[in-house]
């Protein structure tokens, strides 16, 4: 039986303008992406228990590069813990950021190249704002990931900003919208960076995936 993963250290490494300039692909890599203003930086900081790790901003589109953080965590049971290093990646958001068409196209190409070509990309966590009904832009982005055969999970964010009935309905409606074109739905989590809800389940999931990679050798 495994305990919840403990993140011992989270260190900013580099911000890259294109995937070719990312660090060596020698560790498991978990990327986080979502529509602008979905609460991505707050979620990353909550997971790593470090409020200053990823830069948060009230202005959508703050993240413009591929940001790598090296995570050192312990994995395993109490009698036999082992330390593990992996990458957490903060990707630029998509959607309504106030940028030029040229900048937007450049971001989109950078993100697509990273998602399709980054060989050590283990999982992409796509963040969905739980306050809203299903958004076309989110569904279309997920369709692209499916088409590109990118492994993914969903995290419904900001669950503290609405009553639970509304959050549950929005999550259910979103999953039902996916069922129209998906045979199997990806794993999903409901979170709040403010209340730190969902943290344990998300970290446990990453721990399980890391353990599977270790078992494969």
> What CATH number does the domain located at 6-212 have?
3.40.50.300
**If you average pLDDT over every residue of the chain, what do you get?**
88
pLDDT confidence bin for 98, thresholds 50/70/90: low
pLDDT confidence bin for 102, thresholds 50/70/90: confident
**Structure confidence at residue 214 (pLDDT):** 80
What is the percentage of the chain residues whose pLDDT exceeds 90?
67
What is the percentage of the chain residues whose pLDDT exceeds 70?
89
User: For residue 107, which of 14, 17, 2, 8 has the smallest C-alpha distance?
Assistant: 17
Residue 39 zone, left/alpha/beta (φ > 0; ψ -120 to 50; rest)? left
Write the pLDDT tens digit of every residue in 63-95: 678 999 999 998 666 666 678 899 999 998 887
**Structure confidence at residue 3 (pLDDT):** 63
pLDDT (average), residues 178-203: 95
Query: Alpha-carbon distance 81 to 124, whole Å?
Result: 26
Answer yes or no: is pLDDT of 103 > 90: no
Stated pTM of the model: 0.91
**Structure confidence at residue 36 (pLDDT):** 82
**How many residues are listed for the chain in this entry?**
217
**Structure confidence at residue 1 (pLDDT):** 43
DSSP label at residue 177:
H
pLDDT (average), residues 135-139: 95
pLDDT confidence bin for 52, thresholds 50/70/90: confident
* 110 vs 5, more confident: 110
Write the pLDDT tens digit of every residue in 20-45: 999 999 999 999 999 988 999 999 99
In this structure, what token pair is assigned to residue 202?
């998300």
Residue in this structure with the two tokens 């409606």, named with its chain if needed: 173
* 211 vs 122, more confident: 122
Which string of DSSP letters, residue by residue, matches 116-150? Answer: HH-TTEEEEEEEEETTSS--HHHHHHHHHHHHHT-
Write the pLDDT tens digit of every residue in 141-179: 999 999 999 999 999 999 999 999 999 999 999 999 999
């Amino acid at each position: 039986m495994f305990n919840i993963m403990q993140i011992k250290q989270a260190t900013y490494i580099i911000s890259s303008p294109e995937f070719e300039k990312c660090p060596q692909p020698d560790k498991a890599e978990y990327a986080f992406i979502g529509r602008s203003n979905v609460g991505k930086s707050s979620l990353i900081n909550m997971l790593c228990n470090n409020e200053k790790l990823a830069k948060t901003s009230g202005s959508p589109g703050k993240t413009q590069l591929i940001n790598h953080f090296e995570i050192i965590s312990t994995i395993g049971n109490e009698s036999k813990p082992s330390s593990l290093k992996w990458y957490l990646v903060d990707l630029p958001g998509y959607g309504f950021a106030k940028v030029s068409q040229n900048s937007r196209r450049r971001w989109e190409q950078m993100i697509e190249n990273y998602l399709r070509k980054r060989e050590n990309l283990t999982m992409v966590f796509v963040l969905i704002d739980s306050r809203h009904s299903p958004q076309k832009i989110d569904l279309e982005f997920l369709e692209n990931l499916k088409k590109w055969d990118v492994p993914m999970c969903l995290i419904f964010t900001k669950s503290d900003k609405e009553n639970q009935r509304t959050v549950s309905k929005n999550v259910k409606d979103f999953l039902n919208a996916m069922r129209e074109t998906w045979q199997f739905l990806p794993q999903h989590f409901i979170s709040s960076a403010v209340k730190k809800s969902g943290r344990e389940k998300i970290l446990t999931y990453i721990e399980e995936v890391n353990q599977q990679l270790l078992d494969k050798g």
